[in-house]
Structure 1
Amino acid sequence: MDIIDRRPNPHGKNIENRQRVLARARDAVQRAARDAVASGKLREVAQGSAVSIPSDALHEPSLHRVFTGGSRDIVLSGNKVYSRGDRIQRPPSSGSAGGGAGEAGEEGGGEDSFRFVLTRDEFLDLFFDDLALPDLVKREITTTESMSSSRAGLSNDGAPSQLDLSRTMRYSMARRIGLRRPKPDAVRELEARIAELEAGTDLTLALHDELAALRHDLATALRRLNRVPWIDPVDLRYRRYTQTPKPSTRAVMFCIMDVSGSMTERMKDLAKQFFLLLHVFLERRYKRVDLVFIRHAEAAEEVDEDTFFNDPRTGGTIVSSALHEMIRVQQDRYASSGWNIYVAQASDGDNSASDTPKSCALLQTRILPAVQYYAYIEIVGSGAIIRGETDLWRGYKQVAETMERLVMRQVAEKRDIFPVFRELFARRAEASP
C-alpha cells in the first residue's frame, strides 16, 4: 500500500525554503506587491495577494563550464545520426522541451515570470518594510500585546534545538562519578595487564592469583560500563523560555479630513484611500497606536471609523474648527508627556479667507509644539494649475519653513497616493518602529 501526502505544506517543513526565496527576490517582490496594491482596492490590502516577478530575480550565482577552450572527450551513447565534427543544432525555443519565452509570449507576458502567492503577513511586511512613524520615542510604559521571549532557567524536557550541551555534560559527569563508573583508561589498563600475564609461560602462584583478581575486576568494570550509560535521560537539560510583556511606546494618530462642499467625490475618494492605507500601515506595524477620526466642514466632529469613511456630509469650510477639535481631544485624552502625537490632514485647500490665519496660528503655536509629526495632504483637481496655490497651502508653507515637523504634499490622482505616502513615512536613520 502506498501512502501519498498531498498536503501543500505538511508540518511547515517548507517555511525555511519559502523565506529564502523571499529574501533572494525581496526587491522584486516588493515592487510587485506595490503594483498589485496600486491596481486594486485599498480595503483588500490586508487580505494578501498573488504577485508575479521576473524569473531572473530568483537566479543565484553559479559556476559554469566554458566550452570555448580546452580539450574534451565526449561520448554520445547510442548515437546513430551524428559523426565526429558534426554540429548539433539547438532545439527551437517554441518546442515542448524549450518552454521559456515562446510559451510565455503565447500567454501575452513576453517574459517568463514567477507567480508567488503571499500570505497576509508576508504581503504587509514587504509592503511596509521601509516605513515608520518619524521620531517615535518612548514616553510611558503601558500594557501592550507585544511579547518577547526571555530565559527562564532549565528544564528536563524540551525541543532538541534548545538542548544545553554544557549543562547536560556537567550533570552526566557528576552522575558517572557518583555511581563510580569506571573510566575507559582503567579498563584498557586491566585488559593490557591481563593480556601480559596470559602471554607468560611460567606463572607463579602469586601471578595466578593476580590474574584471577584482574579478570574479576575487568568483568565487574564491564558490567558497570553497561549499567551506567555515558548520557542518561536524567542528565538532559534544556533551555527554557517564557513570554514576557515587552514595554512599548504609546502613539496616537489624528486623521483630519475635509468633507465640505468644495471637495468633490473624486477628491474625497482620494483622501479616503490615503487614510485607508495609513490605517492598514499603523495596524500592521504598531501594536499600541490609537486612531482618532475627525471630519469637518464649517464645523468639526470626532467620529468613528465607519462614519469617517462612509457617511456623506457637505457644507462650508472652516479648517480651524478641525484644529480646535483636535486640540480638545488631545488635551482630554492624550497628554503630550505620555503620548507620541501624529496628525494627518487631507483637504483641497479651500478655506475661508479670514480663517486661514487662525488655522496657521493654531498650527504654529499650539499643535506643532506638542506633536511629533504633522502631514498635510492637499487634494488638487484638474484646474489646480490655473488656480495656483491655495490660501491654505501658502499659509501652511510659511509655517513649514520654520517648523520641520510640518510636511506638505499634493495628490492629484490615485497613482500619486503611494509615492506620497512613502515619502511621508519613509524610515529615517533615527526612527525605530
Structure 2
Amino acid sequence: MQIVDRRLNPGGKSLANRQRFLRRAKDMIRDAVRNTAGERSLKDMERGGEVSIPASGVKEPRFHRDAGGFREHVLPGNKEYVEGDTIPRPRGGGGGGNEGSPDGEGEDAFRFALTQDEFLDLFLEDLELPELAKKRVVEGDASGVRRAGFATQGSPANLALGRTMRNAMSRRLALRRPKPQELEELEEALRLAEENDPAEAEALRGRIGVLRQRAMRIPYIDPIDVRYRQFEPAPKPIARAVMFCLMDVSGSMTEGMKDLAKRFYLLLHLFLKRRYKQVEVVFIRHTHEAKEVDEETFFRSPETGGTVVSTAFEEMIKVMEARYSPADWNIYVAQASDGDNTSADNDRTAHLLADRVLPASQYFAYLEVGREDDGGPIGFMPRETELWRTYGRLRTVEPRLAMRKVRHRKDIYPVFRDLFRKGAVEAQKA
C-alpha cells in the first residue's frame, strides 16, 4: 500500500523545505513569536502572520575548497576564554533597511510567515494546567483507538504473529503433521537398516514416504491460520475541569489596566481552547457587585463602580455549587485586579478565599495589574495593595496560590507563561 500526500504546499513552496526550516530555526522563531504578545492588538492575538528573525540565523553550513598549503598564524591571547570554552551565539534582533547602526554595524532581519496553527503551537508550547487530577472522568471525543479482537483479513502492518503461530501449531497438532525430529530419527534408522536388514529398510522407506506426503498435504502455516489485529475508534476518558475568570472592572481600573487584564485572559482563553477541548470557562466581572457574563460581555462591555472583591468569590461559589461540584470537577481560578478593595471587605475576602475557594481549587492564579509609572523613582519602594498583603499571608501556607504583578504589555506573556508553565506548583512548593 502506498500513501501519497497530495496536500498543497503553502504559498507554492516546498512543504518539506518549510518544515525543515521550522525545525532548524525553531528557537529564534519561538522567541520572535512570544515577543509579539505586547505588540499585537487583542483581535489579532491568535492570528498567524510574519515574524522577524536575524538573517544570520538562517544561513546554512556549506563545504568549500581550502586554500591548501602550510600556513602559520600568530593569534593574540585573551583574558576571558580558554581552550574548550563554548561561546553562545549572539541573540540578535534588529531590522532591515539601509540605515546604519550607531557603532557602524548592523544586521538585516529575515521575515517569515507563519500559519495560525504554527503560531499558536510555538506561542503556547510547554504550558499546562497544574495539578490536573483525574477525579470523575467522562467519555470524550472518539480521538483514540482500542483493540477489538482479531480478524482473518487486514493490513500486513497489523499482522498478529503470535496468534497466527498459535493457530498454525494447533492445526498441525490436530491433524498430526509429522515433526521434523520424527523424520530425522526414521532416516537414521533407515541408514542403519540398509547395512544390516534390507527388508526392514524397505519398510522404513515406505513409512518415510507416507510421512513426507502427509507433511506436504499439511503445510506449516495455512492461510486459515493467519490473524490480523483489529482496532476501532474509542473515546478517551477526560478529566473534567473548569476555569473561573474573575476580573475587576471597577472605577479604580484604568483603561490601561483593563487592557493588561484582558490580554492576560485572552492568552488564557487561547491556551485552554487550544490544549483542552473539555475545559469549561466561566467569566465573572465585578465592581461592588459581581455577575456571570458571556465571553463577549467579559471582554468588551464597559462598566464602572466601587470595588468589593468578595462579591466575585460569592458569585463563583454560587456557580460552583450549582454546576461544578469539586468532587467531580477540577476547579481553577484566575483573578486579575489592580489590588484595591474596600477596607471593610478585606477580612471577608480573606475568609472566603482561605475557607471556600482555595480548598476547592487545584490552582489559583492572581495577577495584579498596575500603571507603567507605578514603579516610582530609583530606590522607591512601591506601596503594597490591600489584596497583595491579604493574599501574601495565605501564599506562605498554600503553594497552589500564585501571585504575579505586571505593568507593561511586554511583560504579559512572560508572566502568563510563569503562571502556567509545567511544574508551576512544584516550583511554588520548593
Q: TM-score, normalised by structure 1?
A: 0.68
Q: Secondary structure at the match of 2:371?
A: coil
Q: Secondary structure at the match of 1:255?
A: strand
2:412 is equivalent to residue 417 of structure 1: yes
1:337-396, CA deviations, whole angstroms, 9 ceiling, x for partnerless residues?
A: 211111111111121111122212221222112211111111111453456222222222
Partner residue of 2:114 out of 112, 117, 120: 117
Alignment of 1:219-234 (within 5 A): none
Q: Which residue of structure 1 aligns with residue 202 of structure 2?
A: none
Amino acid at match of 2:8: P
Structure 1 residue runs of 5 or longer lacking an equivalent are 70-84, 86-103, 179-224
Alignment of 1:131-142 (within 5 A): 131-142=127-138
**How many residues get paired?**
380
Contact 2:37 2:409 in 1 (8 A): no
1:180-203, CA deviations, whole angstroms, 9 ceiling, x for partnerless residues?
A: xxxxxxxxxxxxxxxxxxxxxxxx
Alignment of 1:142-221 (within 5 A): 142-145=138-141, 147-155=143-151, 158=154, 161-163=157-159
Q: Which residue of structure 1 aligns with residue 183 of structure 2?
A: none
Q: Secondary structure at the match of 1:404?
A: coil
Aligned equivalents of 1:50, 1:170: Cα separation in 2: 59
Q: For residues 156 and 41 of structure 1, do their structure 2 counterparts lie closer, same or farther at Cα, with a shift above 3 Å needed?
A: farther
Alignment of 1:216-365 (within 5 A): 238-365=228-355
Q: Secondary structure at the match of 1:402?
A: coil
Q: For residues 119 and 310 of structure 1, do their structure 2 counterparts lie closer, same or farther at Cα, with a shift above 3 Å needed?
A: closer
1:89-137, CA deviations, whole angstroms, 9 ceiling, x for partnerless residues?
A: xxxxxxxxxxxxxxx96688934737253342x3322221211111111
2:385 is equivalent to residue 390 of structure 1: yes
Aligned equivalents of 1:107, 1:169: Cα separation in 2: 73
2:392 is equivalent to residue 404 of structure 1: no
Amino acid at match of 1:110: E
Aligned equivalents of 1:339, 1:6: Cα separation in 2: 43
Aligned equivalents of 1:236, 1:49: Cα separation in 2: 53
- How far residue 236 of structure 1 moved from its aligned partner, in angstroms, is 7.0
Q: Secondary structure at the match of 1:372?
A: strand
Q: For residues 146 and 405 of structure 1, do their structure 2 counterparts lie closer, same or farther at Cα, with a shift above 3 Å needed?
A: farther
Aligned equivalents of 2:171, 2:52: Cα separation in 1: 59
Q: For residues 170 and 128 of structure 1, do their structure 2 counterparts lie closer, same or farther at Cα, with a shift above 3 Å needed?
A: same
- How far residue 48 of structure 1 moved from its aligned partner, in angstroms, is 3.3
Computed over aligned residues only, the root mean square deviation of the Cα atoms, in angstroms, reads 5.1
- How far residue 23 of structure 1 moved from its aligned partner, in angstroms, is 3.7
Q: For residues 382 and 55 of structure 1, do their structure 2 counterparts lie closer, same or farther at Cα, with a shift above 3 Å needed?
A: closer
Contact 1:294 1:301 in 2 (8 A): yes
Q: For residues 247 and 235 of structure 1, do their structure 2 counterparts lie closer, same or farther at Cα, with a shift above 3 Å needed?
A: same
1:287-327, CA deviations, whole angstroms, 9 ceiling, x for partnerless residues?
A: 22111111111111111111111111111111111111111
Q: For residues 7 and 376 of structure 1, do their structure 2 counterparts lie closer, same or farther at Cα, with a shift above 3 Å needed?
A: closer
Q: For residues 310 and 244 of structure 1, do their structure 2 counterparts lie closer, same or farther at Cα, with a shift above 3 Å needed?
A: same
Q: Which residue of structure 1 aligns with residue 66 of structure 2?
A: 67
Contact 2:49 2:116 in 1 (8 A): yes
Aligned equivalents of 2:121, 2:156: Cα separation in 1: 30
Q: For residues 380 and 145 of structure 1, do their structure 2 counterparts lie closer, same or farther at Cα, with a shift above 3 Å needed?
A: same
- How far residue 49 of structure 1 moved from its aligned partner, in angstroms, is 3.4
Q: For residues 239 and 23 of structure 1, do their structure 2 counterparts lie closer, same or farther at Cα, with a shift above 3 Å needed?
A: farther
Amino acid at match of 1:370: A
Contact 2:248 2:337 in 1 (8 A): yes
- How far residue 150 of structure 1 moved from its aligned partner, in angstroms, is 2.1
Structure 2 residue runs of 5 or longer lacking an equivalent are 70-94, 100-105, 175-215, 377-381
Contact 1:42 1:277 in 2 (8 A): no
- Aligned identity (percent) is 50
Contact 1:149 1:242 in 2 (8 A): yes
Aligned equivalents of 1:8, 1:148: Cα separation in 2: 27
Deviates more, 1:129-138 or 1:233-242: 233-242
Contact 1:253 1:341 in 2 (8 A): yes
- How far residue 24 of structure 1 moved from its aligned partner, in angstroms, is 3.6
Aligned equivalents of 1:16, 1:231: Cα separation in 2: 43
Q: For residues 334 and 348 of structure 1, do their structure 2 counterparts lie closer, same or farther at Cα, with a shift above 3 Å needed?
A: same
Partner residue of 1:369 out of 338, 359, 363: 359
Aligned equivalents of 2:389, 2:425: Cα separation in 1: 30
Amino acid at match of 2:135: R
1:5-29, CA deviations, whole angstroms, 9 ceiling, x for partnerless residues?
A: 997349xxx7777655444433223
Q: For residues 146 and 67 of structure 1, do their structure 2 counterparts lie closer, same or farther at Cα, with a shift above 3 Å needed?
A: same
Amino acid at match of 1:403: E
Q: Which residue of structure 1 aligns with residue 125 of structure 2?
A: 129
Q: For residues 59 and 153 of structure 1, do their structure 2 counterparts lie closer, same or farther at Cα, with a shift above 3 Å needed?
A: farther
- How far residue 147 of structure 1 moved from its aligned partner, in angstroms, is 2.6
Q: TM-score, normalised by structure 2?
A: 0.69
Q: Which residue of structure 2 aligns with residue 8 of structure 1?
A: 8
Q: Secondary structure at the match of 2:137?
A: coil
- How far residue 398 of structure 1 moved from its aligned partner, in angstroms, is 1.8
Q: Which residue of structure 2 aligns with residue 427 of structure 1?
A: 422
- How far residue 249 of structure 1 moved from its aligned partner, in angstroms, is 1.1
Deviates more, 1:138-147 or 1:341-350: 138-147
- How far residue 277 of structure 1 moved from its aligned partner, in angstroms, is 0.8
Q: For residues 239 and 274 of structure 1, do their structure 2 counterparts lie closer, same or farther at Cα, with a shift above 3 Å needed?
A: same
Contact 1:29 1:53 in 2 (8 A): yes
Amino acid at match of 1:399: L
